[in-house]
Amino acid sequence: MVRRKLFVFIAVLFFAAARLSAATAAQKNVILVIGDGTGPAVMALLMQYAKLAPDSPYKDRLSNLEKIMGAGSLSFVFNTPVDTVAVDSAASGTQLAAGVKTYPTAVGVDAQGGPVETILEKAQKAGYGTGLITTVYLQDATPAVFAAHRQSRKYYHEIAVDMLKTKPDVMLGGGLNYYVSKNNLKDSKYHNIFEKVHYAAALDPQAKDDGLFEKVLKSGYQLVFDKKTLLNAKGPKLLGLFAPQALPFVIDRKPAYPLLKDMTQKALDILAKNKKGFFLMVEGGAIDWAAHSNDQGAMLKELLEFDDALAVVADFAAARPGTLVIITADHDTGGFGFNYRALSGAELEQKKQAGYPLYENTDYAAFQNLDKIAAQHRSFDAIIKDWEALPAKNKTAKTAQKMVKDALGVEVPEEAAPDIKAALAQATRMLGIVWATRQHTAEPVLAIFTGPAGGPYPVPAVMHSTQINKIMEEYLL
């Protein structure tokens, strides 16, 4: 009797598993992962840190990015807009989302300013699940271009309205500011909601229309504001607004904020329930912001968070054969790189005595510099804010020197630290790092594709970013 029961139990399990795999085999999913500002040299920082840093946290010394790159196919991608060489996230994002060349600042519109249907909108029409995730705010260019159509990225309010209308199944990021007005905050009928928002005191209401928040509440979305409620959320429609604007940098972030991997896992859990499949865009948005601040420590932490999210994506794709994964950047920011520099005087002596590797008195940026970058525990933006709050008499070279030592562990000479910005720039040079600009460069980016079996996917070696859109559409639609 017991044996028979066991047999029935095993048979039920077997058929359940067979049905599940038939369902997942029929699903077609596209996961587009965008590292904003993550040019090849920025990707290389993550890969070199994993591989070469003496205290690398990666046991097998390979970042998830490198593992996926090794298994998949690689393309060299130009993101050139319609009539300029340099690009912004709006144009390059629109090119990925809609497959047409357009102009910088354009959100989901073509070169003439007319709306163009995006892959997210087409997928939604065809019955697929859809989702957008970012570590900055949802109305910022990269997420916006998939679900809004405006002639400029500056129309944040209108973009917020558009995105609510397009209504992807899952939207996770920052940007509550654009859905609430000053009157909403004062309105007692919403008090029980704002009570649950841990960052409510920092809200700076931007909604032009008092009724927009009511529309959010009636939109059918489950609304979450922090990591705990995100992890418990069930969907099927989920809107996570985790900050007034962008989420804080990982390096400065408190535990109430979810990580990119938490958001990615939740979105995948919800979207995987769609029998047809889904389109999901995941953005590491603050990699770009750290690069704009020429802050390598904050950038590396964002890259590590991005890499953790890649592990979630790769695990999902390995279990779901119908999944096309694309990892790319919309453009490079900062022109980051390592270089060498000749040393002299006290710094040379100090390094010699410490046994730091030098070749003909030249510092070629030793592997331990990678650990030093990772040891930074406060963003440059936050350090500069602290400095600005000091009384004028305390803004001395000594203070700047100490603040940099405390946050970065780098000892800059007093004469190179007349103020905090100069001190941070000197510390950066001493780590062997150069930044070409605080803006974007026109350097082409890399795109990594893994196909249905998690292996290579046939793609051209060189392409324009609009072609990535065609590849995704051909696969899904």
Q: How far is the CB of 87 from Zn ion (least distance, A)?
A: 10
CB nearer Zn ion, residue 84 or residue 361: 84
CB nearer Zn ion, residue 130 or residue 333: 333
Residue 31 in tokens: 């996961």
∠ CA(141), CA(40), CA(268), 5° rounding?
55
**359-366 contacts: CB < 8 A, separation 24 or more?**
363/432, 364/340, 364/432, 365/338, 365/339, 365/340, 365/431, 365/432, 365/433, 366/432
Please compute Rg for the chain using Cα positions: 24
CB nearer Zn ion, residue 162 or residue 288: 288
- In this structure, how many other beta carbons lie within 10 angstroms of the beta carbon of residue 21? 13
Q: How far is the CB of 405 from Zn ion (least distance, A)?
A: 30
CB nearer Zn ion, residue 38 or residue 63: 38
Which entry of 75, 89, 92, 379 is annotated as an active-site residue? Answer: 89
∠ CA(61), CA(54), CA(300), 5° rounding?
70
Residue 423 in tokens: 């001190």
Q: How far is the CB of 286 from Zn ion (least distance, A)?
A: 10
Distance CA 378, CA 400 (A): 14
CB nearer Zn ion, residue 166 or residue 245: 245
* Positions 329 through 368 that interact with Zn ion (CB under 5 A): none
Closest CA relative to residue 119, chosen from 13, 34, 241, 181: 34
Separation of CA 472 from chain center: 20
Q: How far is the CB of 438 from Zn ion (least distance, A)?
A: 10
Closest CA relative to residue 172, chosen from 200, 128, 135: 135
- From residue 233, how far is each of 236, 265, 270 by CA, in Å? 9, 12, 9
CB nearer Zn ion, residue 372 or residue 440: 440
Q: How far is the CB of 88 from Zn ion (least distance, A)?
A: 7
Q: Is the peptide bond before 236 cis (omega within 30 degrees of 0)?
A: yes
Distance CA 203, CA 129 (A): 31
CB nearer Zn ion, residue 42 or residue 412: 42
Q: How far is the CB of 137 from Zn ion (least distance, A)?
A: 13
If you ran DSSP here, which 8-state letter would residue 249 be given?
P
**Single-letter code of the amino acid located at 40:** P
Q: How far is the CB of 89 from Zn ion (least distance, A)?
A: 6
89 is catalytic: yes
Q: How far is the CB of 224 from Zn ion (least distance, A)?
A: 27
Q: How far is the CB of 415 from Zn ion (least distance, A)?
A: 33
* Positions 144 through 173 that interact with Zn ion (CB under 5 A): none
Residue 45 in tokens: 């920082």
Separation of CA 154 from chain center: 20
Angle between helices 296-319 and 368-375 (to 10 degrees): 90
Burial grade of 477 (CB within 10 A; 0-12, 13-18, 19 or more): middle
Return the residue nearest Zn ion (CB atom): 288
Which element (helix H / strand E) includes 345? helix 345-353
Helices and strands (H and E) in the chain: how many: 20, 16
CB nearer Zn ion, residue 225 or residue 289: 289
- Distance separating the N- and C-terminal Cα atoms of the chain: 51
- In this structure, how many other beta carbons lie within 10 angstroms of the beta carbon of residue 317? 22
Q: Tell me the helix, strand and coil percentages in the chain, rounded to 5.
A: 45, 15, 35
CB nearer Zn ion, residue 288 or residue 363: 288
Site string for Zn ion, 262-301 (x = CB under 5 A): --------------------------x-------------
Give the residues lining the site for Zn ion (CB under 5 A).
Answer: 288
Instruction: List active site positions.
Output: 89
